Amino acid sequence: MRAAAPGRFDGMTTIPVFNPATGDVVAEVPAGTAADVDRAVAAARAALPAWAATDPLDRAAVVGRIGAGIAARTDELAALITAEMGAPVSLARTAQIQFPVAVAQSFAALAESFAWTETLGTSLVVREPIGVVGAITPWNFPLQQIVSKLAPALVAGDTTVWKPSEIAPLTARVLAEIAAEAGLPAGVFNVVYGTGDVVGEAISAHPGIDMISFTGSTRAGRRIGAVAAETVKRVALELGGKGANVILDGADLDVAVTHGVAMAFTNGGQVCGSWPRLLVPAHLQEEVVARAVAVAETYTVGDPLLETTMIGPMASEQHRDKVHGYIERGVADGARLVFGGPGRPFEKGAYVRPTIFADVDPASAVAQEEIFGPVLTVIPYRDAEEAVAIANGTNYGLTSGVFGPDEEARAIARRIRAGQVDVNGGHWNPLAPFGGYRQSGNGREFGRFGLEEFLEVKSIQL
């Protein structure tokens, strides 16, 4: 992919947006500045009193209309996501769009049953908007990540300043249009394009912002937390992951392996909640590996515009190089390569070969560090105690899965130190809390727990 120097747009410096499948520049967005953040914060603060005073059910109705507006523009939004970060168009139309629609609808419905006030003894406990929320989101699910923050913030009565990823910023304009058409007042939702080291830093440090909600890498989360601490603002961080798929004796291997490969390869493995580690009883490793390879062979890699494509390019050439470096590292460190491996599958585009390693040392780099690509590591274990130790043996704790007899699988799930554990392929629930332990972050998204992140609590003593 060729480099492109920043251009100019109405007197502003611009950032090129690349199509990772072709290397072509498909758009340019303004490179925002700290002064742009100041203006956005001023607009958000001016809009805050009226929006905070709006009845929660009326705020929720706007959020519901935003969800409906996203659904109505599915094809347009999916095409933008495919162009900017390479998600296969079939995935872009489904998960990349349906998830944010479901999240918006769930928060819209929650407002009516939520306990905005409650009486505790002689005290009235009141939940109020926290104020102006700074939202900073990544490129892997560009629409889902902002709606997961915007929907609860709006229902809570907050106003927002959002920095989308400069790699995948194209859906931001459409979402802003949808929000305006849904009846959101001016100043409640503000978008500032730009880079993390300029716009992200300015949002994190701004004294006019009361809360930061960030999704992205653990490294960036540490920096945001440090900068935000200077103004003692609330910080909610949804960071990296290194999920484990623990297969127990007695598991349905067809279901466990098929689901596990999907949880490692979907969206090209560029999912913080993926399961890149497959833990299997040592005596079942060869059978599981054979099944995993057979499933992986069905994952078509190619042009993300084709309906048959299941894995497109990585979101950028820079990220492709990172993922490819880990594949080379796995080979060099002695993991047994059973599928894929180093090298480009095509001459053009930010593609890697989906890869499976077996006999992986749980202390190795490919088993410990977040690769964020289609790389599955099969790790054998001796017994349940060792399986739990390996599952908990990274710095992360975001998601994991367990497959096996129900009672045993549930018992193992309770011992895994992660914010979400699926048992035998449990379904995603937009009302259940999502977030991490340890260096996977703090705070929770979705449902009542996600709404509470954006609220302050006041005690009125009677």
Q: Is 407 a catalytic residue?
A: no
**Strands 123-129 and 455-461: what pairing?**
antiparallel
Whether 4 shows a pLDDT value over 50: the answer reads no
**Of all residues in the chain, what percent carry a pLDDT higher than 90?**
97
pLDDT of residue 386 exceeding 60, the answer is yes
Reply yes or no on whether 76 is catalytic: no
DSSP sequence for 53-121: HS-HHHHHHHHHHHHHHHHHTHHHHHHHHHHHH---HHHHHTHHHHHHHHHHHHHHHHHHHS-SEEEET
Topology adopted by domain 244-429? Aldehyde Dehydrogenase; Chain A, domain 2 (3.40.309)
Say whether 390 sits in a helix, a strand or coil: helix
Q: How many CB atoms within 10 Å of residue 121?
A: 7
Minimal CA–CA distance to 428: which of 198, 266, 191, 309? Answer: 266
pLDDT tens figures, 11-63:
679 999 999 999 999 999 999 999 999 999 999 999 999 999 999 999 999 99
Contact between residue 119 and residue 67 where contact means Cβ atoms under 8 Å apart = no
Task: Tell me the β-bridge partners of 210.
Answer: none
Q: What is the pLDDT of residues 138-186, one digit of tens each?
A: 999 999 999 999 999 999 999 999 999 999 999 999 999 999 999 999 9
Over residues 108-135, the mean pLDDT reads 97
- Residue 332 confidence (pLDDT) above 80: yes
pLDDT at 10 over 60: no
Residue 197, judged by CB atoms within 10 A of its CB (0-12, 13-18, 19+), counts as exposed
Given a cut of 80, whether residue 450 has pLDDT beyond it is yes
pLDDT digits (tens, 9 = 90+) for 348-357: 999 999 999 9
Helix 74-85 to helix 171-181 angle (10° resolution) is 160
What 8-state DSSP symbol labels residue 283? Answer: G
Per-residue pLDDT at 12: 72
CATH number of 8-239+439-461: 3.40.605.10
Domain boundaries, the chain: 8-239+439-461, 244-429
State phi, psi for 133 to the nearest 5 degrees. -105, 130
Is 286 a residue whose pLDDT tops 80?
yes
Among residues 28, 238, 370, 445, which one is catalytic?
Answer: 238
Provide the token pair at 236. Answer: 């909610």
Query: DSSP readout, 10-37?
Result: TTEEEEEEE-TTT--EEEEEE---HHHH
Identify the active-site residue in 272, 370, 452, 453.
272
